[in-house]
């Protein structure tokens, strides 16, 4: 099971050295891409294993009705572009904070759309729906 601890600090709270800042870094926006690049692209895990670690296993541990797509189930999902190379850029984060040790890292698998309760909640400006 893999989880992120999202604690949205403001830029001002984090505008200092990493050792002086409040605990935590932006992780929820880049976690999948970093894990996909480090483990799936290098053949250490399958894509299915990564999806299980991030969705199905946490849902089971906490007895939540998430982590799977089925008729009548909650339609909460993220659409991810596995082919496009991206560079982690803190200035593009939706989160309040910008502190990350991964700035400039090349990754694959960035989100392009988030759907909650069957409705588009967020869509990347560059997503063409292809």
CB of 9 closer than 8 Å to CB of 24: yes
Burial of 59 (0-12, 13-18, 19+ CB in 10 A): middle
Instruction: List, for residues 61-81, the tens digit of each pLDDT value.
Output: 999 887 677 888 778 889 999
Would you call 117 a catalytic residue per the annotation? no
CATH code of 11-123, in short, is 2.30.40
Alpha carbon distance 98, 121 (integer Å): 22
DSSP annotation string for 57-78: HHHHHTT-S-S---TTS---EE
User: Is-above-0.95 flag for pTM?
Assistant: no
Confidence tier at 51 by pLDDT (50, 70, 90): very high
- Other CB atoms within 10 A of residue 10 CB: 11
128 falls in which pLDDT band (50, 70, 90)?
Answer: low
């Amino acid at each position: 099971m893999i989880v992120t601890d999202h604690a949205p600090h403001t830029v001002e709270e984090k505008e200092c050295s990493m050792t002086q800042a409040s605990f935590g870094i932006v992780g929820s926006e880049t976690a999948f891409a970093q894990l996909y690049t480090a483990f799936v692209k290098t053949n250490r895990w399958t894509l299915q294993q990564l999806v299980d670690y991030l969705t199905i296993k946490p849902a089971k541990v906490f007895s939540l009705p998430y982590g799977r797509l089925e008729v009548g189930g909650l339609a909460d999902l993220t659409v991810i572009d596995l082919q496009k190379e991206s560079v982690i850029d803190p200035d593009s984060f939706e989160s309040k904070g910008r502190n990350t040790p991964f700035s400039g890292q090349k990754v694959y698998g960035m989100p392009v759309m988030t759907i909650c309760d069957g409705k588009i909640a967020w869509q990347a400006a560059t997503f063409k729906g292809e």
